[in-house]
Amino acid sequence: LDPTDENFQKCAQIIKMNGVVGMPTETVYGLAALATSEKSCELIYQTKQRPPTDPLIVHISSLDQINQVAILQPDILPIYTCLAAKFWPGPLTMVLPKSKNIPLTATANQETVGVRFPSHLLAQKLISLTGPLAAPSANLFGHVSPVTSQHVLDDFPFLSILNGDQSEIGIESTVIQLLEGKVFIFRRGFVTEQMLGQCFIDAGLKVEIEFKKISSSSVEKQVAPGQLTTHYAIQNAQSLFLCKTEPQFPSLTQIKQLDINQKKVCVINCGLQEFKPLQQHLNLENVQWFQIFDNPTQKYFETLRFVEKLNFQIVLVIPPLEVLESGAGSGIDASLFDRILRSCSGQWFKVFQ
């Protein structure tokens, strides 16, 4: 649907009737429904085929709405105020104590809720018409996240979708929890740990930042979405990422033997400028290469969706150079690598042994 006033009213009416719609944001497209309605939140889980242990993120369209969805306790208020002033509206989700308005269905039966104030103007307009919206990524659970309205339509042909062109950032928001004067990073995103740290320094706050471990079980309750090792995956293909040294992440599996004979293989190259040695090393003479050196974070999910339509049997992903060389990354490269390893279900292959 084009973003006309008529279509905004149509989508708002669907939402108010406890339905779901596709909503553009600057990160990825969301599957949006009323955050304060248990029935609407249940419909999101049913539509996405999402396990009830995986909580939803609530989206607001102004800072004035925060008290409708969360409780700002005194111990976290200075940190919240600092982060909201710097990164909202934008791609940062803060996990806060939930208000009574948010049903436990939305939070995986936990007393906390992830809240985000998106910067996408179409998302803001829709939320201003409906009130706070729960909006996980608009894809079937575990599938590649959508960064265009067509991607949403591919997963949900029946859905009304506001068309906001391609998502500017292209990966989901950074998810953090504010707890007892500390910040815990549950999901990497565009807002990096370095950016968070600098924000606290500039504000004169002493705040510890820690990372939470990856989960491999959809049965465990998750404090935040995007925690599972298998996520963002191409259907009907084996995906692996390549590294020279063992990746510095838990819950990964090294594939010792890579059989690519008589199989349709492609390589998604996010960082290796000179790849002839790799072609020779893996005997990759008759494969298709996709180079995404220019802003690979924005283009990674788009490329996965494109590759999926071409029915490759094996997809090899070359991470950013720092990750390929050391098995770890920093800043936005680490955020991209987080999506790469999950899209490959944590499977990796050692190159140049």
**Is 137 a known ligand-binding residue?**
yes
Q: Does 335 appear as a known binding residue?
A: no
Domain 5-211 has CATH 3.90.870.10: yes
Annotated binding-site residue? 135: yes
pLDDT at residue 221, as a whole number: 60
Q: What is the pLDDT of residue 214?
A: 57
pLDDT at 321: 84
At 272, give phi and psi (nearest 5°). -95, 105
Those residues with Cβ within 8 angstroms of residue 89's Cβ, 6 or more apart along the chain or in another chain: 117, 118, 119, 124
Reported pTM = 0.93
Domains of the chain, residue spans: 5-211, 238-350
Q: Is 116 annotated as a binding residue?
A: yes
Neighbours of 77 (CB within 10 A): 11
Q: 128 a known binding residue?
A: no
- Residue by residue, pLDDT tens for the chain (353 residues) are 999 999 999 999 999 999 999 999 999 999 999 999 999 999 999 999 999 999 999 999 999 999 999 999 999 999 999 999 999 999 999 999 999 999 999 999 999 999 999 999 999 999 999 999 999 999 999 999 999 999 999 999 999 999 999 999 999 999 999 988 899 999 999 999 999 999 999 999 999 999 876 555 544 566 666 666 778 889 889 999 988 888 877 778 888 888 887 889 999 999 887 777 777 777 777 788 899 988 899 999 999 999 999 999 999 999 988 888 887 788 999 999 999 999 999 999 988 75
The answer to whether 216 is a known ligand-binding residue is: no
Please indicate if the annotation marks 29 as binding a ligand.
Answer: no
Q: Is 305 annotated as a binding residue?
A: no
Asked if 27 and 116 touch (Cβ cutoff 8 Å), the reply is no
At residue 249, the pLDDT reads: 78
**Is 303 flagged in the annotation as binding?**
no
**Interatomic CA distance for residues 71 and 295, integer angstroms:** 37
Q: Give the pLDDT score at 12.
A: 98
Predicted local confidence at residue 352, as pLDDT: 72
